[in-house]
Structure 1
Amino acid sequence: MATYLGIDLGTSATKTVLVDGAGRVLARGRADHRPAHRQARGRVDTAEWARSVRLACHDLGDATRADAVGLAVHCPVAIPLDDAGEAVAPGLCWDHPALPDLVEAYAKARGDEAATLVGNAAFPATAMGLAWRFFAEHEPETLARTRTMGFVGTWLGHRLTGRDAIDPTQASYSGLFACTDGCDWIDDLAALVGVPRHVLPPVVPSLSPLGTLLPEAAAELGLRPGIPVVTGAADTAAAACLLDIHGSRAPLYTVGTTHVVTRSSAVPDRAPRVLQRADVRPGRWLWHSATNGGVALSVAARLLGYGDAVEELIARAGAATIAQAEAAPVFIPHVTPERGPLWLERPRTALLGYLPDTDAWSAAWGAVEGVAFAVRLMLGDSDHVVMVGSLDYAGIVADLFGRPVHLVEETYLPAMGAAAMAAEGTDGVILPAPPYRRIDPRPEWAHVVAARWESYGETWGRIVGRPAPTAPPMSEESR
């Protein structure tokens, strides 16, 4: 039976998984990025990615068992590449402070027809093709050496195969790509931004083989040379592909550095309020609502004396009584700019009601509640939620969402999705979705959650300065 390797190059770590054609996990690997890879706000060192990918593959033990490789990557980060596929300069992240002004000019100039084709509101996270304009204005010497302007998947794919590509799920966040019709670069927008057409990588379907593993890459990662590498997708799209969420009407809630609510649609949203991308499977689209919940939990953990132990903060919150939850402070958790549907260009945060006599359980509950309630703002109506995260957090979320949570019993889901794309793209093998555990909300908590939710909405509007958003409706056609 064939064996498939999934590589998930994430925001804070690389995760790897080896699975067989029946979906059985044979080995897992992980390597965290060292903090120094974020050299400054909005810039990232790809050399640290190379290190973590290497270590995560070696952490599998015997990776030579892999017969094919699939890729999942975080998105969006723009990376200028030279002739050898090496980064010419640190990657440019969507939260770089110079991007909002460039996006404002782009939004005014692109026109309604182009905006409909792009299928996303103009925002740094959805217009990363403006990286070219950034480098032209701030680092022209970088462009003199740039042959390809790609995303994370472009960099990793070239490193493994020597070939340039970008898949539709990543290209959808460039602001230069016809996400809603055609799934190719829009020449007029490239010209508007000043990007030469030849520096944009070829758009290759997620499930298509990109090439074969180079000998030097195989030696570095402990793999066999010449095995096929499938193009892959952005990490959340890879997870959604494995779970086949278009077959379910429940949204997928993925917990990581970013907390993302994902829905699948059979039609594109022509006036999107959220982040929209072409799906791994042609003819479908993914709608993402995102908040930087993992970052907010890290900030709250440090503020409340837990250091980097976010799980300890969550465990303490899970042990709170109803009375302690009623006395908890209200946390508005937007400690960074936020993407759709919140669309916050600068941080908006507050911790209200945290008093000298607030006990540790109340404080922890307020912090975790604030992050979960921010996600609930984006959730919309559904009978239940499919979730990827920890068991402790899922129990709290079920209470705070007021609906059952189906907790996926697989913590390396994007890596598993990458392996599934390798299996399907090379051998036509469809890996089964992992099992889940149902967690029901506790009825006795309903009254306090309802009161806290109402208070949270009022506080959110006051701190942010506008009413709380609502999730886009999902028609029967879009499902």
Structure 2
Amino acid sequence: MRALIGVDIGTQGSKGALISESGHVLATHSIEQTMTIPRPGWAEHDADGVWWAGFVEIVRTLLLRSQVDPEQISGIGVSSLMPVMVPVDSDGRAVRPAISYTDSRAHAEMIAMNVELADVGETPLVGHDIGPKMIWFRDHEPVNWRRTRMFTGAQGHVIARLTGRYVIDSITASGMRPFFDFKTRDWDVLHCDRHDIPIAMLPEVVEMTDVIGAVTEEAAAETGLAAGTPVIGGATDFIAELISTGADQPGDVVVSYGTTLCLGVFSRQPIAPWPGGGSMLRAGSDLARLYPDLHAVGAGMATSGALTRWFRDQFGQGERRVEQELGINAYSLLALEAEATPPGADGLVVLPYFGGERTPIYDDQARGVIFGLTLSHGRAHIYRALLEGVAYGLQHNLDLIREAGASPRRIVATGGGSRSALWTQIVSDVTGLPQEVIAPSNAALGAAFLAGYARGIFRHIGDVRQWAQAEREVRPRDEVHSLYQRHYAVYRRLYERTKEEMHELAGLSDVALDAPPRSAVPSLATQAM
């Protein structure tokens, strides 16, 4: 039996799927992983010890569970979080921890680069763009910079470890602004020269379904795969997850309840530019070929499941012990407690900007707020308010997308958080949209589909529906929707009235951090010696 493998490298965990060429899911495996916060505003990942080691564990587990002969694997797809900065040396090993899109250490560099971009009439950079982080790295870690041969992303690093070839798909490359040119779909020579970024240090831009190489003998020995197995260019995690749902109708809003919340909205008509997200189906791209005659825009919030994990890890020690001892999911226990509190959490509103925010406010110095606390509030109220805060953020994005000309009709839900009946009900009640929860669907399955598409096994997006089905439907409740709209009005005003204080606190945090960060990276003083 011939089969396909997809692996997704995520912010807080990785997952894999092995499917047959006929679309049957033969094995899955997932693992939790960690993102380190060496100091406020920083976010890092261990590219070799976590991402690559996790990939190896997942692939070996999939092969063991499925009992599929490695020689029968027709192709491998890898997806991942994006954008991230992974500098690697001449041996292909990371020279420092990868810097995540949520990391805001390069805020000053971003501001300086935006002044230059404004002078030439170009779109300003935002907090998740990698260009300013590369400049920060060059100027603050000169020793590591001199050791760097290549910059890559998360899936690019795994693909390089698999094949020895450095590539980046064009959608992931768009996160490396201003060094990527959207028109040519390649590196922007002018901006690279202006900022002294050698083109030779940037990977080759490919499309996500290009077969870019094959598993090497060295990688085969580590992973258990057969040498020579084809590997494709890979995709961003949300693109792979969106594909895995099979959604392809105008008005569909694909929402991924992941570590971050991402959404994509399909439309028959073009959608005007809006201050939050960008076009997903660029002419000539693999993605546009998968969705002919459609337009789509995408958006993403900085935190979603990251908030529930933060709460679990900080305040749910009892639930974690129950999970370890009895196998009852800790998040389910927290949700059960929160479900006993009323919609609106008895007057609590959360701004979910615990990692800054992407769309629609694009403020890397935004900070989280739990507003309205009284002595009557408990842990369950706060947990519910966190879920509601993410739903308000989704509503904010949808409001702007509607103003741009799209007409959202239903939510197609995927991602780990979509397993929560409470959270999905909150989202439908806040947005007023019905919701279909698709299962199984995840980025690993989407990556496996893309590998099959690249190999000519799958022909169109409808083939995904061999496994992706509506697990359940969620209907909004009119009376609860009306209540939530009053809370949402407070949510919208709250950021505008507190953002100056947020920025001031962010600056005060930076001033207080003169001591070396809690990181394995050598300090500047050490590097200068």
**TM-score category (smaller protein):** 0.7 to 0.9
* 1:282–1:439 CA distance, 2 compared to 1 (3 A): closer
Tell me the equivalent position of 1:402. 432
Instruction: Tell me the residue number matched to 1:196.
Output: 198
Deviates more, 1:399-408 or 1:448-457: 448-457
Please report how far the alpha carbon of residue 179 of structure 1 lies from its aligned counterpart in structure 2 after TM superposition: 5.3
Cα distance change, pair 303–228 in 1 and its aligned pair in 2 (3 A): closer
In the alignment, which residue of structure 1 is the partner of 2:137?
135
Q: 2:386 matched to which residue of 1?
A: 367
Decide which of 391, 410, 413 is 1:387's aligned counterpart: 413
Q: Quick one: structure 1 residues 269 and 399, their matched pair in 2 at CA, closer, same or farther if it must change by over 3 Å?
A: closer
Equivalent pair of 1:73/1:153 in contact (CA under 8 Å): yes
Cα 1:157/1:103, change in 2 over 3 Å:
same
Match of 1:123 among 126, 131, 138: 126
Alpha-carbon shift at residue 153 of structure 1 (Å): 2.2
Distance, in Å, in 2 between the alignment partners of 1:92 and 1:359 is: 35
Letter in 1 for 2:277: V
* Mapping of residues 294-333 of structure 1, within 5 Å: 294-301=305-312, 309-321=330-342, 325=344, 327-333=346-352
CA contact (8 A) 2:127 2:362 kept: no
CA separation of 1:340/1:280 partners in 2, compared to 1, >3 Å: closer, same or farther?
Answer: farther
1:207–1:280 contact (8 Å) kept in structure 2: yes
CA shift at 1:387, angstroms? Answer: 1.3
SS in structure 2 opposite 1:432?
A: helix
Aligned length: 457
- State the identity as a percent: 23
1:14-413 map, 5 Å: 14-34=14-34, 41-46=42-47, 47-60=49-62, 61=64, 62=67, 64=70, 65-111=72-118, 115=122, 121-126=124-129, 128-178=130-180, 180-243=182-245, 245=247, 247-264=249-266, 273-274=276-277, 280-282=286-288, 286-301=297-312, 309-321=330-342, 325=344, 327-358=346-377, 361-380=380-399, 381=402, 382-388=408-414, 389-392=418-421, 393-411=423-441, 413=442
Matched, 1:415 2:444: yes
Structure 1 contact 70–421 (Cα < 8 Å) conserved? yes
The two structures have a TM-score, normalised by structure 2, of 0.79
Native 8 Å contact 1:275 1:339 kept in 2: no
CA positional deviation for 1:9: 0.8
- Please give the per-residue CA displacement for 1:97-148, whole angstroms capped at 9, x wherever unaligned: 43111111111113576735xxxx412312x133432222111122222221
Output the amino acid matched with 1:385: I
> 1: CA distance between counterparts of 2:6 and 2:449?
8
Deviation at 1:450, TM superposition (A): 3.1
Answer yes or no: is the 8 Å Cα contact 2:4–2:76 preserved in 1.
yes
SS in 2 for 1:70: strand
Q: Give the match's secondary structure for 2:29.
A: strand
- Residue aligning to 1:439: 474
User: For 2:179 and 2:25, how far apart are their aligned partners in 1?
Assistant: 36
Report the secondary structure of 2:374's partner residue: coil
| Alignment check: 8 A CA contact 1:350 1:463 kept | no
Q: 1:99 to 1:250 in 2, by over 3 A?
A: same
Matching residue of 2:523: none
What 5-or-longer segments of structure 1 have no aligned partner? 467-479
- Shift in CA distance, 399/97, structure 1 to aligned 2, threshold 3 Å: closer
Would the alpha carbon gap of residues 104 and 271 (structure 1) be closer, same or farther in structure 2, given more than 3 Å must change? Answer: farther
Cα distance in 1 for partners of 2:175, 2:387 equals: 29
- Matched with 1:477 is none
Q: CA, structure 1 residues 181+264, in 2 after alignment: closer, same or farther (shift >3 Å)? A: farther
TM-score calculated relative to the size of structure 1: 0.86
SS in 1 for 2:398: coil
Letter in 2 for 1:88: V
Does structure 1 retain, via aligned residues, the 8 Å contact 2:345–2:385? Answer: no
Check conservation: 2:253, 2:409, Cα contact below 8 A. Answer: no
Q: Is the 8 A contact 2:5 2:19 kept in 1?
A: yes
Query: What SS is found at the alignment partner of 1:262?
Result: strand
User: Which secondary structure does the structure 2 equivalent of 1:96 belong to?
Assistant: coil
Distance 1:124 1:443, change over 3 A: closer
Extract unaligned runs of 5+ from structure 2: 290-294, 321-329, 403-407, 502-529
Q: 1:310 to 1:198 in 2, by over 3 A?
A: same
Q: Deviations over 1:268-316 (max 9, x none)?
A: 9667532566564257765223231222333445666567644433333
Q: Which amino acid aligns with 2:485?
A: A
User: Residue type matched to 1:26 in 2?
Assistant: L
Q: Is the 1:29–1:58 Cα contact (8 Å) retained in structure 2?
A: no
CA contact (8 A) 1:38 1:45 kept: no
Amino acid at match of 1:312: L
1:222 CA displacement: 1.9
Q: For residues 31 and 496 of structure 2, what CA distance do their matches in structure 1 show? A: 39
Query: CA offsets per residue over residues 57-78 of structure 1, 9 Å max, x none?
Result: 2222236252210010111111
| Aligned 8 A contact 1:233 1:280 in 2 | no
Structure 2: distance between partners of 1:342 and 1:167: 26
Give how far 1:91 is off.
1.5
Separation of aligned partners in 2, 1:267 and 1:416: 29
The residue type paired with residue 298 of structure 2 is W
> Residue 461 of structure 1: SS of its match in structure 2?
helix
> Higher mean Cα deviation, 191-200 or 389-398?
389-398
Q: Distance in 2 between matches of 1:159 and 1:3?
A: 22
Alpha-carbon deviation of 1:462? 2.8
Q: Deviations over 1:321-359 (max 9, x none)?
A: 46xx46242222212211121212223332233222235
2:325 corresponds to: none
- Structure 1 CA distance for aligned equivalents of residues 33 and 419 of structure 2: 21
